[in-house]
Amino acid sequence: MNPGVYLDLPADQYHAVDAVSATRLKKLHSTTPGHFKAWLDNPTQETTDEMDFGSVVDAYLLEKGLLTSRFVSFPDGVDRRHKEGKRLAEKWEAEGKQIVKNRIFHMACDAAEKLDNQLPVGKKQMSLFTIETSTGLLCKARPDLVPDGPSLWDLKGTHDATERGFERTAYNMAYHIQAALYLDLWNALCGTVEPKTEFRFAVFEFEPPHAYRVFKCSDSFIERGRQDYQAALLKYAECRNANSWPLYPQEEATLFLPVWANK
């Protein structure tokens, strides 16, 4: 894929491009290079109810015209363990559709309908590809929303959209890496014409009533994300160039009681 901004690149084509992404850097940030390489070489197709929920919400809000062509749910009373359910599952999978539980599909559509008029107007799911100068690696990003103004936006599902709850989730899931990488890739490609200096997460809760709120990333959140993604990117480049993906250090480690056990 040539570096540039692509307005209408289908999601499957974007994901098929072998490039460094926020997902890869978040994974490498949280584990050893050896674990990362095993994950990269053995991608799993398994999904959770939460992943399905988020995918349906994303499709409803960002790719509404593709919702019914990408997803399907079993009719009430039909079970894929039985003959008719098995037949339908095989048919839908052959058509490339993702099967989602009926309850999850309708809950997700209900949540997305409530959010539909609350998101800013902007370009949806633009695909960004650029060569990172320090490593020479092709990097990619796909912001959910690019409205007018200084911000890029991303949509996230969570169990707890309180400040304390989402702060914990955002750091544990390394969303700070995503925010910084997306801003840097955008500005490398479009910064002279339309610079972006802010990143916002539009957050919805999985459980009814699917409460929604917006979080603006602080400067310190983005700067920490930049430090962490650049460290992960450098580690990836070094491991790839050397074709060496180490696991844990071989030195003996000392085992202590956890901090909470001493209280």
Q: What is the pLDDT of residue 83?
A: 78
Q: What is the pLDDT of residue 77?
A: 66
Q: What is the pLDDT of residue 228?
A: 98
Positions of the chain with pLDDT under 70: 45, 76-77, 263
Rounded CA-CA distance 185/188 in Å is: 5
- Its pTM stands at 0.90
Domain range list for the chain: 4-240
CATH code matching the domain that covers 4-240, chosen among 3.40.630.190, 3.40.50.300, 3.90.320.10, 3.90.45.10: 3.90.320.10
Q: What is the pLDDT of residue 44?
A: 77
Nearest one of 217, 4, 19, 9 to 124, comparing CA atoms: 9
CA-CA-CA-CA dihedral for 126, 230, 1, 8, to nearest 10: 0
Q: What is the pLDDT of residue 115?
A: 87
3-state secondary structure of 32: coil
Q: What is the pLDDT of residue 183?
A: 98
Rounded CA-CA distance 180/138 in Å is: 16
